[in-house]
Amino acid sequence: MRYLIALAFCFIFLSSQAQACRGHILEDTLFFETLPNPPLNANLIAKVSLSEVSRGTATAEIIQVLQTSDPEVRLGEKLPIQFSFSSCGPNHKNGAKGIIIAKAGIDSVGRLVLYPYMRRYSDGRITPPYLKAGR
């Protein structure tokens, strides 16, 4: 019986360590409800629809361009996005829509890629884009 109790405590301890994020309120999102003031250093502010969402990558279809300094970004364009991913998100699903603020860059194949800022739900903390070395 003691072994069973010890095993149960070990299971509870290990499962709580694997889940670092403690609820939706601490999660990060790629979407902004309002534009930050002062403005962020970004190449693109656009309403997008996400598809092919995976851990740290997705495809963003541009629904509406609000602001851009990159003439290659147009309505209906489908661009890959890369972002940092953890147990605290972002946890978007295919079809999710919202406004992103992103820096544009070129990947190793020469494609235009978006690197979005992230926002925490609870306190609005903004995380800069995840740019891999050499970008």
Q: Per the structure, how many domains does the chain have?
A: 1
Give the model confidence (pLDDT) of 108-128 as tens digits. Answer: 889 999 999 999 988 889 999
Residue 26 — pLDDT band, cuts 50, 70, 90? confident
Is there a domain that residue 86 lies in?
A: yes
Residue 18 — pLDDT band, cuts 50, 70, 90? very low
Task: Measure CA 129 to chain center.
Answer: 9
Give the model confidence (pLDDT) of 61-112 as tens digits. Answer: 999 999 999 887 889 999 999 999 988 989 999 999 999 999 998 888 899 9
DSSP structure class, residue 39: P
Is there a domain that residue 135 lies in?
A: no
Is there a domain that residue 66 lies in?
A: yes
For residue 115, give the H/E element and its range: strand 112-116
Q: Are 47 and 99 in contact (CB under 8 A)?
A: yes
Is there a domain that residue 15 lies in?
A: no
Is there a domain that residue 122 lies in?
A: yes
Which CATH number characterizes residue 75's domain?
2.40.50
Place of tokens 């820096």: 103
Is there a domain that residue 4 lies in?
A: no
Is there a domain that residue 3 lies in?
A: no
DSSP structure class, residue 40: P
What's the whole-number average pLDDT of the chain? 85
101: which strand partners?
45
Is there a domain that residue 133 lies in?
A: no
Q: Which domain, by its residues, includes 43?
A: 23-127
**Does 44 have pLDDT greater than 60?**
yes
Exposed, middle or buried, 46 (CB in 10 Å: 0-12/13-18/19+)? buried
Return the pLDDT at 50.
98
